[in-house]
Structure 1
Amino acid sequence: MEITGLTWAVTIAVIVGLVLFDYFFHVRKAHTPTLKEAAIWSSIYVGLALAFGLVFFAFGDTDHAIEYYAGFITEKALSVDNLFVFMIIMTSFAVPRLFQQKVLLFGITFALISRTIFILLGAAILEWWSDAFYIFGIFLLLLAGQQLKSEFSSAEEAGSEADNALVRFARKVLPVAEHYDGDKIVTRVDGKRLFTPMLLVMVAIGVTDLIFALDSIPAIFGLTQEPYIVFTANAFALLGLRQLYFLIDGLLDRLVYLGYGLAAILGFIGVKLMLHALHQNNLPFINDGEDVPVIEISTGFSLLVIIGILVITIAFSLLSPKGKALRALQNAEKFAHRYTLLPEDATTEQRQEAAEKMDFWTHRAQETEHRYLEELIEHKDQWSAIIRVAHETRLEDANRRGIPALMSQRIVTTDGPVLAPDTNGKDNEDSESRD
């Protein structure tokens, strides 16, 4: 497939059109997407991305097709990790959920622009100096190590993404209001023109996009050196990211070992880049400037390795004891919260059905190994409060209606780690007696 100026122009026009479509038909009117809406549009964008790769096959360009799919999957995986940080940033700034779509679309647009610049710079550097592959490879290996290190960081340290130097500088030099004014960036308070916290959120998102571009661009250049493939794989990985955020919100942190998988992918591509650099060596202090006879990892094999790492990482995250503990906690909190939202005129059957789901997941959480629960609850104390309040509400309802509520009685009086994380390590005797 010949990649001409017309090919670039049409592709860029399509990408810009999709971003504008997202803005005018989805984001312009503030709303929180339903799960169905997010699922449909996520499927559409993933479908478009996969269909685009078929264009290369249609022209008989198998090599570029495999490079595109390998790049797209890698960038999509890295983008999911980006979403987790975006979630931390918006939580740190308490962005109303109604306006999170606008923040995400800004982040995606800024990422498209910044990554396009990085792609052009990267392509120019590699064209001018092929031994830059050494630098890219070493950089990715360092990033893999940094990714592993971040897995041992606390949530507060991860949340520092929202408190970077540029944000602190903006707070000092700009008049910033204490509260949001819808999705506006500028507001008036007592006649004074002030910026809203929305500006700080966008600054934090923008800086984060730049940081993530530093690992995503070298990573994909390790899979293909064709700028067009690098650009399209990045663009299609970013498109639909807004819908994916709302689709897997709440599922993101269940992927407890995703960071390790991403570290493995970055490390693998880093090694691939180093081997490629050795194979085309020009540095005089390595093998007297001659090519080093090393194996080169094909893009097809790279695609299989990347898919394999992601499948293993996701499966292990969901099936591991820690992943199961997190799922039990999340569902216990979700169904407990739903019980508290039951209207006063809810029927006995509706209350019983909601209570059964709440009891089931609360009991599952109580049965989980305490060491995992204590680790997960360390930064999620609100779960305990929500679960306890829901069971107290159920106990009050039961007493008022004369209905037995033994599970809630035990839950409310327990001192276990799920519902009362400040127990100084004491085990829950009631929990043990139930098992």
Structure 2
Amino acid sequence: MFHRRQLLIASAAAAAAASALPALASPPIRRRALAALREARPPEAADDLAAAAQDEDFWAWVRDCYTVDTSMVNFNNGGVSPATADAQAAQLRHLAYTHEAPSHHLWRVLSPQVETVRERLARYHGVDAEEVALTRNASESLMTLLFGHDLKRGDEVLCTSHDYPRMLDTVLQRGRREGIRLVTFDPPVPLTDPDELVRMYAERITERTKLILVSHMVYLTGQVFPVTAITALGRERGIPVIVDGAHAIFHMDFRLAELDVDYYGASLHKWLCGPLGTGLLYVRRERIPSVWSLQASSETLDDDIRKFEQVGTRPEDGRLALTESLDLHEAIGGARKLARLCYLRDRWTTRLTEHPRVSLNTNLAPGLAGSIVNLALEGAEPHELQAYLWSEHRIYTISIGFEGCSGLRVSPHVYTTVGEVDRFSEAVERFLELG
């Protein structure tokens, strides 16, 4: 029998556990913040965008839509971004509902609602909902494509040495198992001429090249590659081009329909600020039948985008909560969001590059970069600066790269304040003074 004393002890333990969780912003605050963002006049002209990027009252409302730890400065949003407060609340709500009656609530109520999320993402990007799969991350999306194309021994996959290691490992595993060859080349750092990069891909295509992999935004530097032109090159040569959009989607201001690509894999827990474990896979409709699913699917799904979602029993809380993340993104607006990210970026890069020991591995020309920048210091290793920033200033960054492209990856987000950017600049200047 469960006695009253046991009940009191259990209740106290539950309350203590709940208090240890990060507090979500109260619903009235979030509702007021979102309403204020929606009512703000959307900027149209370039001058309006520049002013909007510096409207600190507006961006204070945006910050209220998050539950970030204010005891630190998080400048590694390129790794993973925080979900919005509303997305977190929705996720908890969906998960609690699931466990009231899992087999009914999950499969008969919540899973069908995923179609609404699919439709909304497709509508935003101007593509057909039957071309959008909701996966768990960019890795799953891209491995689906890299494993899903039929290749034979001796066939080659072409990409740069700056593509994400997990994707390179996918091809290398196919090499160990099937004899597929990975062909890489070093792209220019920083990238100054996108047309030159297209030529570098073209020069390396041979009769054995059967797939091309290209990063839309390079994870090392944040450099934006000309994926539309590279996709067009692949079509001319009859070679499928797979685009890794993990860092670009909902970061740069574009729609998938505008890119005119055939294959695109991305994470939605980065710049959309969706729940952890959410991703997107776009496959042009006529290409779906020719790509095998990563996990086994019925033959009846051969031409159905949902074959790429066949992973067995999974909770739907994350995928369904993407609608709340989309609410905030659309309330801000893609152009205004990018303008803010570039304003914050330019604030610290302009200041720090005045120092003779500071250089950037990222070309910041319009359209070639967003928030992610690779910062290099002459006479100092990136990991030394990373450790100093964290231990002395509680500023979280990541040292990243390899010989020829090594630095500190810095990536503020829309919830970042001007004060935090200046705090980062001052800390780097202090580090330079120390030696």
Q: TM-score scaled by structure 1?
A: 0.27
Q: Identify which of structures 1 and 2 has the higher relative contact order when contacts are C-alpha pairs closer than 8 Å and 6+ apart.
A: 2
Q: Decide which structure has the larger Cα Rg and report it.
A: 1
Higher strand share: 2
Higher helix share: 1
